[in-house]
Amino acid sequence: MNDAGSSRSAMMATYTPPDPVFVAGSGTELTDEEGKRYLDFIGGLAVVSLGHAHPVVSAAVAEQAATLAHVSNLYKNALAPEVAVTIDRLVGGGTTRAGGQVFFCNSGAEANECAIKLARKWAGPGRHRVVAALGSFHGRTLATLAATGQPEKHVPFAPVPEGFVHVPYDDIGSIAEALEGAPAAAVLLEPIQGEGGVVVPSSDYLAKVRELCDEHEALLICDEIQTGLGRTGHWFAFQARDLRPDIVTMAKALGNGMPVGACWARAEVAAAFGPGDHGSTFGGQPLALSAVRATLGVMEAEDVCGRARRAGARLGAGLAGLPGVVEVRGAGLLLAARLDSAQAKEVAARALAEGLLVNAVRPDTIRVAPPLLVSDAEIDQALGVLQRVLAEGKAQEGRS
Ligand SMILES: Cc1ncc(COP(=O)(O)O)c(C=O)c1O
């Protein structure tokens, strides 16, 4: 057996990737080991928002790697305070600081783990419950798995940590009931459910949740790990609703591919953490933060929010006109197209063979989340591939 074969079988079977092995990327394009080129309309699942190998981010990381990759959090580091201020300003809408504080970590799950611990510490004993939504996804660590509103995913790992209650998404009455039933530290929600199928709640839902949280002295945690940093046409999706969350978690696009996450909290809430309450060896290390500083700088210079809105309108309109598409959901460049049959996996596989990456987020729904710098020509090219793939699928259905 050659090395590639043996290394593949040496991996745990937690993923079932299809055949191409991608070895290079540039902008919206990926190249496999055979030299075939693909349009990446999944963007590493909303990670590479500036596209693959963005020159400014790559240069910043290369320079930092050659200067100082890591210092322990036992010591101060030059980048963390500066990057935290930028994140605080983006949480505040881009121009004014929100007045919060940031904890840096390495992934989305860790950002949520931090949020849950912080909310519990803030609330104090006896008020540790967190209300979350069915259909949500918050991560794969034991606590974030317990927070994830997909009970079937808990079963093989039972018992998961207790203290999480799940209510139907976009149902304000059930949140009210859960908060009236017993004291809670927090309500944890995605402003748009990503993994759950790109589900957009009613326009007044989050504002009403905020009112209930105030009434019951519970924190509102917005999980912006997939929706954050320009993806939906705002720095954070909650900003479309003029909302003030107490805690905001982010990761994915934050480092344009460098593993990094962050948990932002209002200063009075953040004050619940003291030295030793939380930590991470790698969290906030200079290498990752060099990527964050460069990524956020380019995002602001390129007005990614405006670009996501404009490109999203073009892509959404195009998707809506494709054969067999019965609904387009989402905001900005986080979009899902629901098909008239449960063919999403087949469509994603055929699109891949034709050189386009999209993903089946539900049996009848494909999701697209291309880089925010995607061009109109690339959008039209991707729509052309989907048009062919869906029309062929229809023709096959007609023959069988
Ligand atoms: C909304 C949301 N929260 C949390 C996570 C977990 O992030 P990570 O895989 O970086 O731990 C994800 C990942 O898809 C997500 O979409």
Q: What is the pLDDT along the chain (400 residues), one digit of tens a residue?
A: 455 555 558 999 999 888 899 999 999 999 999 999 999 999 999 999 999 999 999 999 999 999 999 999 999 999 999 999 999 999 999 999 999 999 999 999 999 999 999 999 999 999 999 999 999 999 999 999 999 999 999 999 999 999 999 999 999 999 999 999 899 999 999 999 999 999 999 999 999 999 999 999 999 999 999 999 999 999 999 999 989 999 999 999 999 999 999 999 999 999 999 999 999 999 999 999 999 999 999 999 999 999 999 999 999 999 999 999 999 999 999 999 999 999 999 999 999 999 999 999 999 999 999 999 999 999 999 999 999 999 998 888 878 7
Domain boundary among 301, 318, 339: 301
User: 387, exposed or middle or buried, with CB in 10 Å at 0-12, 13-18, 19+?
Assistant: middle
Encoding tokens for residue 61? 């990381």
* Best of 252, 256, 260, 359 for a ligand 1 pocket test (most atoms within 8 Å of beta carbon): 252
* CATH code assigned at 156: 3.40.640.10
| Spatial distance between the Cα atoms of 60 and 147, rounded to a whole number of angstroms | 35
Here the tokens at position 394 are 């229809």
pLDDT at position 1: 43
Is residue 365 within 8 A of residue 197, CB to CB? The reply is yes
Domain boundary, last residue among 249, 274, 301: 301
Atom number, ligand 1, closest to the C-alpha of residue 251: 10
Q: Which residues line ligand 1 (CB under 6 A)?
A: 107-109, 112, 137-139, 190, 194-195, 223, 225-226, 251
Which residue minimizes the CA distance to atom 7 of ligand 1? 108
Residue 23 CA to residue 39 CA, distance in Å, equals: 14
Return the beta strands (E) in the chain as ranges: 22-26, 29-32, 37-40, 100-105, 130-133, 164-167, 186-189, 219-223, 247-250, 261-266, 325-331, 334-339, 356-357, 359-362, 365-368
Residues catalogued as catalytic: 137, 223, 252
DSSP string computed for 315-347? HHHHHHTSTTEEEEEEETTEEEEEESSS-HHHH
Does some domain include residue 59?
A: no
Whole-number Å distance, alpha carbon 109 to ligand 1 midpoint, is 6
Strand-by-strand arrangement of the 37-40 sheet: 22-26, 29-32, 37-40, 356-357
**Total domains in the fold of the chain:** 2
Among 45, 138, 359, 361, name the best residue to mutate to test ligand 1's pocket (greatest count of ligand atoms within 8 A of Cβ).
Answer: 138
Domain end position, chosen among 271, 301, 331: 301
> CA 122, CA 144: separation in Å to the nearest integer?
18
Query: How much distance in Å is there from the Cα of 227 to the middle of ligand 1?
Result: 10
Tokens of 74: 């036992």
Q: How far is the CA of 250 from the centre of ligand 1 (A)?
A: 9
* Parent domain of 161: 68-301
